[in-house]
Amino acid sequence: MHTHSNFCDGKGPLSDYVARAQALNMTSLGFSSHAPVPFDCKWCMKAERLDEYIAAVKSLAQNSAGLEIYRGLEVDFIPGMIGPKDFASKLDYTVGSVHFVDALPDGTPWEIDGLHTLFLEGYEKIFQSNIRDVISRYYELTRAMVETSCPTVVGHIDKIKIQNVDGKFFDEHDAWYQDQINQTLRTIQKSGAIVEVNTRGLYQKKSTTPYPSPWVLQRLHEENIPITLNSDAHHPDDLTNQFPETAALLSSIGFKTIMVLHEGTWKPFSFNTHGLHP
């Protein structure tokens, strides 16, 4: 349910993803291009293409026998500017993500999951090189998104960890960091939103663990917060990249089901390393 095509920064047309999903005998495929934002962003969809995108996904959904296709967007949350609720009425579902944390001194929104040099710029100029303040603000924004513009699915909840190369900024076992995660999970639990388990960091080799980390997955399981498994594919070949390995991890933690959008409703499906089963 988390895929990107050439309507944003993905590779290839929607039809290529459909063909690959059919070859993989997938149950459902959701398109979730990066939603337009009201400033220049090279990896987001252009606002003038939104209607074309929605129409294209609808057309594929009507003409792809054996595969359910759903229209979604990955929507950024920036307070007072954009959030998942802004697009929800046009879609089957939304993925809500935080890619930007406040703004640089010149007013440019600060992207936290791009180049490390850009991360360091905001770390120094906005937060005076205080990583605890950076991380706390990131999770504060995630909670604000869930509370004020709740998405269907909360995207790559701890993706900011990709900037923590070799643990140079923080340890995920630090009490203050775990407190931020726990606060965020409590907020999500109250909302009823689904948390995605995202494999992109694994196959891109930007992380040795999925988003979120295994200890966070353990907390999700303990709190009975529903999850879905996504690859954040930017190429058709990545639709199920690292799914078997991640399914094994989820099973070892104790998860029995993952949520899938099926017949128009999010439903729990049993799974194993080979895929879904009724």
Strand 257-262, strand 275-277: pairing: unpaired
Query: Residue 263: inside a domain, yes or no?
Result: yes
Query: Residue 3: inside a domain, yes or no?
Result: no
CA 210 to chain centroid: 11
Digit-coded pLDDT (tens) for 210-238: 999 999 999 999 999 999 999 999 999 99
- Please list the residues that pair with 272 across neighbouring strands: 275
Tokens of 81: 């500017």
Query: Residue 237: inside a domain, yes or no?
Result: yes
Query: Residue 26: inside a domain, yes or no?
Result: yes
Query: Residue 54: inside a domain, yes or no?
Result: yes
pLDDT of residue 120: 98
pTM metric for this prediction: 0.97
The CATH number for 150's domain is 3.20.20.140
The residue range of the domain holding 19 is 14-277
Close Cβ partners of 48 (under 8 Å, ≥ 6 residues apart):
none
CA 160 to chain centroid: 12
Q: What domain count does the chain have?
A: 1
pLDDT of residue 99: 98
Query: Residue 9: inside a domain, yes or no?
Result: no
Close Cβ partners of 67 (under 8 Å, ≥ 6 residues apart):
18, 21, 22, 26, 27, 28, 29
Q: Which of 92, 85, 82, 80 is nearest to 45 (CA)?
A: 82
pLDDT of residue 277: 83
Query: Residue 244: inside a domain, yes or no?
Result: yes
> What region, left, alpha or beta, does residue 190 occupy, with left being phi > 0 and alpha being psi -120 to 50 degrees?
alpha
Q: Can you tell me the distance from the alpha carbon of 155 to that of 142, in angstroms, rounded to the nearest whole number?
A: 10
Low-confidence ranges of the chain (pLDDT < 50): none
pLDDT of residue 163: 97
Give yes or no for a contact between 100 and 110, defined as CB atoms under 8 angstroms apart: yes
Query: Residue 60: inside a domain, yes or no?
Result: yes
Tokens of 105: 């001194």
